[in-house]
Structure 1
Amino acid sequence: MAPWCYCFLCLLIRNLSGTPSNSSGESRNPWGPAPVAPGEVVETAGGVCKFSGQRLSWWQAQESCEQQFGHLALQPPDGVLASRLRDLVWVGQREVPLRRPPQRRARTTAMLVFGEKTADRAARLRSPLPELAALTACAHVQWDCASPDPAALFSVAAPALPNALQLRAFAEPGGVVRAALVVRGHHAPFLAAFRADGRWHHVCATWEQRGGRWALFSDGRRRAGARGLGAGHPVPSGSILVLGQDQDSLGGGFSARDAFSGNLTDFHLWARALSPAQLHQAQACAPPPEGLLFRWDPGALDIAPSLLPMVWVRLLCPVPSEECPTWNPAPRSEGSELCLEPQLFLCCYRTETYHRLQDAQSWPGQDVISRVNALANDIVLLPDPLSEDHGTLSPAEASSFLGLLEHVLAMEMAPLGPAALLAVVRFLKRVVALGAGDPELLLTGPWEQLSQRVVSVASLVLEEQVADAWLSIREVVGGPMTLVASVQRLAPLLSTTMTSEQPRMRIQHRHAGLEVRSLRLREASTRGCFFTMPGGRPEGPGHIHIPAGEARRLLGKGLSGVTAIHSWFTSRVFQHTLEGLDLQPQAPASSEEANRVQRFLSTQVGSAIISSEVWDVTGEVSIAVTFHLQHQAQTFRHKLVEPVCAFWNYSISPYTGGAWATTGCSVAALYPDSTACFCNHSTSFAVLLQIYEVQRGPEEESLLRTLSFVGCGVSFCALTTTFLLFVAAGIPKSERTTVHKNLTFSLACAEGFLMTSEWAKANEVACVAVTVAMHFLFLAAFSWMLVEGLLLWRKVVAVSMHPGPGMRLYHATGWGVPVGIVAVTLAMLPRDYVAPGHCWLNVHTYAIWAFVGPVLFVLTANTCILARVVMVTVSSTRRRARMLNPQPCLQEQIWTQIWATVKPVLVLLPVLGLTWLVGILVHLSPAWAYAAVGLNSIQMKRRRLREVKATQLEAQGEGTPRAVVPGPDLALEPQEGVPLLTLPHSIARR
């Protein structure tokens, strides 16, 4: 093909594509990456993200992701995902404030108080109105529900047209307020506008001459609207605006029958029809300035004397203009949009979390899910936690499903599996989010029954036998603190059921409870407000207190009443599942304890979980609280326990549901079994117990280390001298002397390595070698101590004249068994054999039992042997005494028996290694350590002199040889948090 054909073909393709090469649409060409499809999962550098395809507000998107155990993307998409996105997406926030639905701000303004219906109460705009082809009128209204007759909220009258325009309404007792727009005498039907609940409502009416289009709005929502009302005719110029009355004549002709009864403020009038978005701005106390004829200004009104003086009111305005972060893929830039605007979003997960959720359908507990769904004849619990909810859920359906779920969980005998627990947690999240979706549901839902069942289900899944299931899903849902958040979110739903006759609602079930209380600040400004848990009391543990000063502070802000929300959780599941979570160690209370602390071990939940929140109609109000909680029974032997006042911060770690923090909290008072705390904010609290391992102070450690090293050195010299005497003195060979020599040699070598262990820890290879050597040699010493006991049994108790088992068996026991133990330990625990920072066995693994186990066996066996030998010795002494003196006095008999008991014990304790038992007591008090070191050092020196003397006598033939084997006074340094253990090794043989 000719070259010009190729050029023509390329030009044809470009023309058909309709996209120049330099246009912004180049990224959308058919050869680029395909757009991400709804429901598609894409891996990113930070984890896994799922594209929903739905358009929701920021809060709805966040709620949707949380129900699927994910979160909004916390950073702009990158890599392949960024190139495949075509539209704006929401970006998440780590901090809590944006995680809540839109809050409302407050401002103080004057209001007109229309009391009883009379003909003399009205407010008239001084300036006449121009001709109006369209208009919008808005006001904040508090309707008097006791007056059922129709009334004029405002009216506009022209010189020749008294009923030019007016807004009329009436209240149905216990129902709704119905409103109707009247234009040029034409009356629209009365339609429901807002609840007749005596609260403030923002009411707007719009009208246009063209087509006669009109609409009624309340609280930002369109309630009614139609066409054909007063079409083609404007409101004449020179009209008069009157608030609170119907005009039968221009600016007058008022009647009590049509008078408004209630409160009115923040009235605005525009010469155009506002859009729904602009009406949201007006509701938010930010009226659009375009076309504004009248901004609320009481000074521009002629107000009837009966309405004076005006009353100031704290006006509450939502904030729809709040913006939330977004990411735009076209310019690849971050920005922000109104949080209420529906946008696309991504639900993201950590990779390991997403894979665990994918495997959830194979987890135990599927039978509970199937049983609940079968009873409900619907999909209540989702087996797949990553799937989206099917259809909508009404409050009545949710309450019914919760009843079924409560029944199944109460009858379930086996512990709940992780799959069922995950499904239950997700369903509870969905239920408590019902009120956030549609505000109208708050007026109709069976919230009290629903709340009772939510608390019951939450309590049932907090039973202690479910702790293992919580541990299995902790990385996915953040542990049981997710239930605390869910129960707290019930409060806005439950508060809708409270009345002036019932200002308090309390729900509890075993391990969980919730109380919502309407709090009058003037009453609380004297003594504060106490909330008590079951079994708690205001003057003792088990309460939370809002100080009177906080109530006075809120009064100073113009608040008269708030809603106090408290919940409590007493399950031990929190201790099992939240144990060991990272929290910066706090300094011990006293300097003496601080000097004695060696190492921080862990943090444990040491009390019930108690939550406190205070809300006014604008949202949550942060206040300071004090609380006093009982310590839950736990045993920490020989540990320092330091109570810490903490709160759960959901924004610290959004991936895991939060973490404990202590900012703003402090200990107010410490009691033996409880702690009183102060926190300068309100949230979920607990008393945490920080566990420390207590050791001697630095001065005591230094002194004991010095004494141990000196005693070890002297003992090493004594053992070496004794061994040389055995070798050089020409003592006749026998089983007894052979056992003594092996025992002396093994102990001397072990102590030699012990003295070098402090320097060897600087080199990893040398440290391992020294640890292996000490492990082997000390085991060998104990093995030879066991041989000493067996030999003593054969010579004293059994009194056998037949040859013994022979030295081969003794050598196999003394040297072969330790070799086997050390070899097996090294093979099974090659990485956990040596303690970090010390040349000794790791006491936090099973390696330490390769030493402690054999030692306990030897000490137990030799203790039994010693007891039997003492019995034989006492019996023999009694017989000998009767032979020498057939009729001894009582005092002589007692003394003989005592000496017959004490003498063999003193002689045989060292030879059988039982003096090592002294080292078990040294962790109880420093006095035991000093006593063990000092006493055994003196004993060692005395026995060394006896050994030297006995050897000299035997060499000179001047007496029966008495071989006494001195032993070291050995103190082991603290190994990886184990208390200092002083182990006497003095061994004697008579």
Structure 2
Amino acid sequence: MVHEDCRVFDPVTESCGVENCSSFKGVICQFKKEKYTLPKSPFVSRLSEDPKIRQVMEELSVNTSRDIDLTSLQQLTQAALYAIEADGPRPLTSSDILYLSQVIDSTAASARSAGANTAEVMVSIATNYLNLASMMLEPHMATQWIGWTEDGVNIGPFTIIKSIDSLTEALADTLSAEQRGFTLSTKNIDVYLKWQKLSHKSSNQVFKLSAVTSHIPSRSSLDELIIPDYELQRIYKLGYKEVMFIHTYYSHLSEVVSAAEKPAESQQDKAQSTFPGKLTSAVISSTVRDVSKGQTVPVVVQYTLSSSQVAEYSWRVPRVCAFWNFSLMHSQTSSWSSDGCSVIFVGSGVTSCLCNHTTNFAVLMNYFESKWSPEEELILTKLTFIGCGASLCALVVTLMLFTVLE
């Protein structure tokens, strides 16, 4: 008999452990012990050249996430960053991205179970991975790894974003003990963490790029996210005294998302892609963490985003306030959802939205791209004018005939 290990969660003690999968535990949930398979790729081969890093990767492939030392994970993320910086042209694969996201999941789990004095290590890991993620989200690099792994896992840009969400939440929980914040600006990603003590007079929490970087593209100067004062006062009355605000801004994600959301090849795929619209803005996210329990607090969020790809006559094009629903990632070809979100203002290239929850937000435009080339459109335009002219001439002749015959 093959003995497999399963992770076991005990709802009474709220703790996890490892037991034999064949053992019966009644109402206690069991699931297979997670193991990370090392991809056979040039990127992993490059990392394995360092004996210490190879040892860390081998340890990660056989141990549960809570068994990995944060210092080892720090070394691994540092080595991965150096490898990408040194070997930029070397192609990444979808399996590489999946492996790196699993490493970050391990980091988040290890940080929550680690003791004190982990803040500096977590800051280092976050800095390494966010710089690494920024490079991986470059459009020319993303085209190398977007797609399916050998195990049938669909890897896209939001695979990276989900790992960033997990990492920043773990970092916020770690830094909250010291009432510290964190700020980092990269080419494609900006992250801002802020500790705050709430009161019955708390004012609006406003996040703009100016809080992170001084290099703001002109079209992004109006982009902002606001957690209203009445929401902060509401959660204060519910018992939330100290919170961490987590804000992330992805400035150039539309090109990468467009590459990931290729047109469906079959009618069945088209039927599954039920959410219309094209990403035309940056992606902005917000999370409020209860620092005492390490839990996310649901709040109402208002955000404003400018459109990077405004279509002609865009004021006629319907705008959609949407968020990326991670629960739909494996069941539909598009995982955008508008549940709980509504448009509250539409201006010239700017859209404001109100959502009743926190997550990764964006603005979509619901329009159909032209099926004709510029040359074909010119011919059709000329034919239209010729047809209208001929019809007008015929109408004039008809009126003259009626006049003469009367």
Task: Report the TM-score when normalising by structure 1.
Answer: 0.33
CA distance in structure 2 between the aligned counterparts of 1:530 and 1:510, rounded to whole angstroms: 22
Q: Which residue of 2 aligns with 1:443?
A: 116
Aligned residue for 2:260? 577
- Residue equivalent to 2:71: 396
What are the within-5 Å matches in structure 2 for residues 51-200 of structure 1?
53-58=4-9
Answer 1 or 2: higher relative contact order, Cα 8 Å, separation at least 6: 2
Task: Classify 1:422/1:936 alpha carbon distance in 2 versus 1 (closer, same or farther; 3 Å).
Answer: farther
The answer on whether the counterparts of 2:183 and 2:191 sit within 8 Å (CA) in structure 1 is: yes
Which of 635, 641, 649 does residue 317 from structure 2 map onto? Answer: 641
Task: Indicate conservation of the 8 Å contact 1:578/1:605, yes or no.
Answer: no
Aligned partner of 1:430 in structure 2 is 103
- Structure 1 match to 2:27: 337
Instruction: Identify the match of residue 366 of structure 2 among 682, 687, 690.
Output: 690
Residues 673-732 of structure 1 deviation map (CA, whole Å, 9 limit, x = unaligned) = 1211100111111111221369xxxxxxxxxxxxxxxxxxxxxxxxxxxxxxxxxxxxxx
Structure 2 residue 279 is matched with structure 1 residue 605:
yes
> Does the 8 Å contact 2:154/2:330 carry over to 1?
no
Greater Rg over alpha carbons, structure: 1
Query: 1:548 matched to which residue of 2?
Result: 229
Distance 1:466 1:623 in 2: 35
Aligned-residue offset at 1:453: 0.6
Change in Cα spacing, 1:937 to 1:329, as seen in structure 2 (3 Å) is: farther
Q: Structure 1 residues 369, 433: closer, same or farther in 2, change over 3 A?
A: closer
Q: Which runs of 5+ in 1 are unaligned?
A: 1-34, 39-52, 60-101, 103-276, 281-319, 348-356, 586-601, 695-842, 857-915, 942-990
- 1:443 is paired with a residue whose SS is coil
Alignment-mate amino acid for residue 463 of structure 1: E
Closer, same or farther in 2 for the Cα pair 1:670/1:381, shift >3 Å?
A: farther
Q: What is the deviation of 1:416?
A: 2.7
Q: Could you tell me which residue of structure 2 aligns to residue 747 of structure 1?
A: none
Distance in 1 (alpha carbons) for counterparts of 2:97 and 2:15: 36
Distance 1:57 1:461 in 2: 34
3-state SS of 1:553 partner: helix
Task: For 1:937 and 1:552, locate their aligned partners in 2 and report how far apart those are by CA, in whole Å.
Answer: 71
Query: For residues 466 and 488 of structure 1, do their structure 2 counterparts lie closer, same or farther at Cα, with a shift above 3 Å needed?
Result: same
Counterpart of 1:404 in structure 2: which amino acid?
A: A
SS for the counterpart of 2:195 is strand
Aligned residue in 1 for 2:240 = 559
Aligned 8 A contact 1:321 1:338 in 2: no
* CA positional deviation for 1:657: 9.7
The structure-2 alpha-carbon separation of the partners of 1:558 and 1:661, relative to structure 1 and needing over 3 Å to count, comes to: same
- Cα offset, 1:645, TM superposition: 0.5
Alignment of 1:242-641 (within 5 A): 280=13, 320=14, 337-339=27-29, 343=30, 345=32, 361=40, 366-375=41-50, 377-379=52-54, 389-390=61-62, 393-414=68-89, 416-418=91-93, 421-437=94-110, 439-445=112-118, 446-473=121-148, 476-496=153-173, 498=175, 503-522=180-199, 525-533=201-209, 534=213, 535=216, 541-571=222-252, 572-578=255-261, 584=274, 603-616=277-290, 617-618=292-293, 619-633=295-309, 641=317
- Matched residues, number: 368
Shift in Å at residue 631 of structure 1?
A: 1.0
Contact 2:322 2:338 in 1 (8 A): yes
CA-to-partner distance for each residue in 1:769-825, whole Å, 9 max, x for gaps? xxxxxxxxxxxxxxxxxxxxxxxxxxxxxxxxxxxxxxxxxxxxxxxxxxxxxxxxx
Q: 1:678 aligns with which of 354, 357, 371?
A: 354
Q: Report the Cα distance in structure 1 between the residues aligned to 2:306 and 2:85, rounded to whole angstroms.
A: 28
Displacement of 1:444 in angstroms is: 3.5
Q: How far apart are residue 632 of structure 1 and its match?
A: 1.5
**Are the aligned partners of 2:244 and 2:289 in contact in 1 as well (CA < 8 Å)?**
yes
Counterpart-to-counterpart distance in 2, 1:615 and 1:658:
28
Provide the C-alpha distance between the structure 2 equivalents of 1:321 and 1:396, rounded to a whole number of angstroms: 24
Which amino acid letter does the alignment assign opposite residue 148 of structure 2? I
Judging changes above 3 Å, is the alpha-carbon distance between structure 1 residues 427 and 444 closer, same or farther for their aligned structure 2 residues? farther
1:372 is displaced (CA, Å) by 1.9
* Cα deviation digits, residues 942-989 of structure 1 (max 9, x gap): xxxxxxxxxxxxxxxxxxxxxxxxxxxxxxxxxxxxxxxxxxxxxxxx
Q: Deviations over 1:719-763 (max 9, x none)?
A: xxxxxxxxxxxxxxxxxxxxxxxxxxxxxxxxxxxxxxxxxxxxx
Distance 1:450 1:502 in 2: 19
Alignment deviations for residues 248-300 of structure 1 (CA, whole Å, 9 cap, x no partner): xxxxxxxxxxxxxxxxxxxxxxxxxxxxx7xx4xxxxxxxxxxxxxxxxxxxx
Q: Helix, strand or coil: the match of 2:240?
A: coil
Q: Partner of 1:920 in structure 2?
A: 381
Change (3 A) 1:424 1:548: same
- State how far apart, in whole Å, the 1-side matches of 2:231 and 2:342 are: 18
- Residues 381 and 369 of structure 1, relative CA distance in 2, 3 Å threshold: farther
| CA distance in 1 between partners of 2:296 and 2:334 (Å) | 19
**Rounded Cα–Cα distance in structure 2 between residues aligned with 1:569 and 1:504:** 19
Report if the CA contact (8 A) 1:520-1:562 is conserved: yes
Secondary structure of the corresponding residue to residue 328 of structure 2 = coil
Matches within 5 A, 1:700-779: none
Q: 1:467 to 1:396 in 2, by over 3 A?
A: same
Q: Secondary structure at the match of 2:225?
A: strand
What's the CA shift for 1:656? Answer: 6.8
Q: Cα distance 1:389–1:640, how it changes in 2: closer, same or farther (>3 A)?
A: farther
Alpha-carbon separation, structure 1, partners of 2:315 and 2:148: 31
Q: Percent identity?
A: 19
Superposition deviation, residue 482 in structure 1: 1.4
Aligned residue number for residue 310 of structure 1: none
Measure how far apart 1:646 and its partner are. 0.6
Aligned partners of 2:362, 2:196: CA distance in 1, in Å? 24
> Match of 2:101, as an amino acid?
L
Letter in 1 for 2:364: L
Task: Tell me how far 1:529 sits from its aligned partner.
Answer: 0.3
Instruction: Write the letter of the residue equivalent to 1:429.
Output: Q
Distance verdict in 2 for CA 1:380–1:439, change over 3 Å: same
Amino acid at match of 1:425: L
Q: Secondary structure at the match of 1:544?
A: strand
Map Cα deviations across residues 516-563 of structure 1 (whole Å, 9 max, x no partner): 21122227x4531011135389x9622111011101111211222212
Closer, same or farther in 2 for the Cα pair 1:646/1:454, shift >3 Å? same
Shift of 1:934: 1.4
Distance 1:442 1:676, change over 3 A: farther
